Amino acid sequence: MKKSIALIIASAWLLGGCAYHSSDIRTHTERLTQEEIGLLKKELHTSAEQYDAGQHMIWSVTKEKHYHSDLDSGVSVHDTRSSIQYAAALFHTGDTADIQRGIAIVKAILPLQEKDTSKAYCGVWPYYPEDPLKGRKAPVDYNWADFMSVSLIDIVLNGSSHLDENLKSQIKEALILAARSIMKRNVKADYTNICIMGTYVCYVVGRLYGQPGISNYGQHKLAYFHDYTKNSKGFTEYNSPTYTIVAMNELLRMKQTIINPTDKKMVDELYALCWRMIARHFHTGSGQWCGPNLRAYNDLLTPELKQLFFYASKGKVHLPGDYPREARVLEPHEIPTALIPAFLHQDLPRIAVDTFMVGAFQLRNTDGVLKAKDIVGKLYVHPQYALASVNQGYLWNQCRPLIADWGTPEKPAYLRVRFLHDSYDFAAVHIKNVQDSSTVLSILNIAYNGGDKHPTIDKIKDSTITANDLRLRIETGGDVDVSSFTISGKNELVFTSGAVRMLIRVPYCNWDGMQGHWETGGAGNKKWADYIIHSGSKKEFNLAAMKEAVIGLSLIVQPGVEEPKIAVKTEDKYLRLSMKGMSVQALKKPDDEFRIKNDFETDSK
């Protein structure tokens, strides 16, 4: 949005009777133009249709049983987060009826917050009034203190003149309780979006309401997050098409609000870091934001991201597809001018190497001290395709530690590596990769105390799983009409898709004495080749007791007529694969998750 120095009020301003320290924050933004209001109202159409005028909230139906809720799927509910976001947006329209609806929503939302200071979750809201915090079995989602507060702050900064003194006082109480909850929880920088969001809430709330303890916390947390991210060379959720944008949205709030020169400089640096990461991993040939990724909900670029690239570049990055060619007026992102060419014309081939996370931890046990290794990603971008891997990752369904993209922006395609436990991605399986350019050598092994479907929520109990089916999956999706898998040997697979050809091999497999075999299949717009370890009857696996649970894998894009053999070496504790001057070594036997993650070696000349 447009900024004007005239909007910066240099003296103390009273808001609901409380001193407002405007030397650090901007009190409000410039009004939207009629054109922008028109666009905003189009964006709000769906929310308007889902608005329940009787309850003054947005209604929805639960899609599945959620970890933080006692409700099952298929239950009609009223959603607190989407409701307060809708209310905040309504204040920006300037329309009297819209603003009155926004006020009604705020009045419905505020009483749902827990205000009993003796409760650990004081300051937090539930997902739905139909699933209150008191008396429930499911754990409280403390993030709702952050999510709800950012929208309430938006309402205070942009719609305060429409609020009576009583409602201002209620909002003030709610925001201070939420800020104190955030401070008590004290989320660290490795939880990127919540750390940024909580920092913003405390930074602003402390200054809005003359709470120096809260404002100082927010200011110090901003410096801490900035330094942590620079030292780590990026966010924990590295190169994430989901969480990078979430972080950018929160940083944008800061850019629009924080005017303290020192703090603004840190915010601007973090925001630019996000766009640099995206630009480094964009492939013009396929029109894709390439891997490797931690926290990805999709395998190909979504319409929402295409819209973002379009309006953030002022229409210069114009990808094909069905999406609105217009701005999201409350999220006025801008691609730094110097980075726009990276989305339009690229000198290829090129290699991008990123240290996503600097190892900062260590574990001491009977084997001595094991230090955490840096997490390093590599992306090889060729005119026809892009191949990406990370040196250490795991196979949760939100991870893309080994993925390739090709095709055109009109018809893109991808290929990724998965490991399935009873048809669902097995988060306890880890992968170590070494990549030169078009070749990747990998070892998959397992943490006996890792997660099953989720890395932390459903940890494996007593190191034991039961399984009807265990399989390594090589999956392709997108434009798959000309794609096919051909099994060319017991452990060898050839994949073709138009002009792109890949050779995929399993040079070693031992899963509790079992070896695998290839089978092919597909459904919808996906095809796959599965290296099946076990399928059929239910079988129990005591992972800690297994001597080996390891798979070696190689993937070569555009292989030669005769590719060199892969040298396989098994020792007491490790499997080692070598080929073409590159090698990877990792544990054969299941072990503690920290050791599985970090006890490995890679070498590429």
Band (364; pLDDT cuts 50, 70, 90): low
Task: With CA atoms as reference, report the closest residue to 93 among 163, 37, 169.
Answer: 37
Determine the average pLDDT of the residues in 35-56: 96
Band (270; pLDDT cuts 50, 70, 90): very high
Identify the pLDDT of residue 203.
98
Helices (H), 96-141: 96-109
pTM: 0.89
Q: 83: buried, middle or exposed (CB in 10 Å: 19+, 13-18, 0-12)?
A: buried
Q: Given a cut of 50, is residue 370 above it in pLDDT? A: yes
Domain ranges of the chain: 1-29+186-263, 351-604
Identify the pLDDT of residue 562.
86
Q: Given a cut of 50, is residue 537 above it in pLDDT? A: yes
Q: Given a cut of 50, is residue 8 above it in pLDDT? A: no
Q: How would you classify residue 349: left for phi > 0, otherwise alpha for psi between -120 and 50, otherwise beta?
A: beta
Instruction: Among 108-112, 120-124, 157-161, name the one with the lowest average pLDDT.
Output: 157-161
Determine the average pLDDT of the residues in 302-319: 98
Q: How many CB atoms lie within 10 A of CB 525?
A: 12
Backbone angles phi, psi at 283, to 5 degrees: -120, 110
**516 CB-near residues (< 8 Å, 6+ apart):** 471, 472, 506, 509, 531, 532, 533, 551
Determine the average pLDDT of the residues in 273-292: 97
Determine the average pLDDT of the residues in 353-380: 80
Task: With CA atoms as reference, report the closest residue to 212 among 14, 13, 21, 28.
Answer: 21
What's the whole-number average pLDDT of the chain? 93
Identify the pLDDT of residue 30.
77
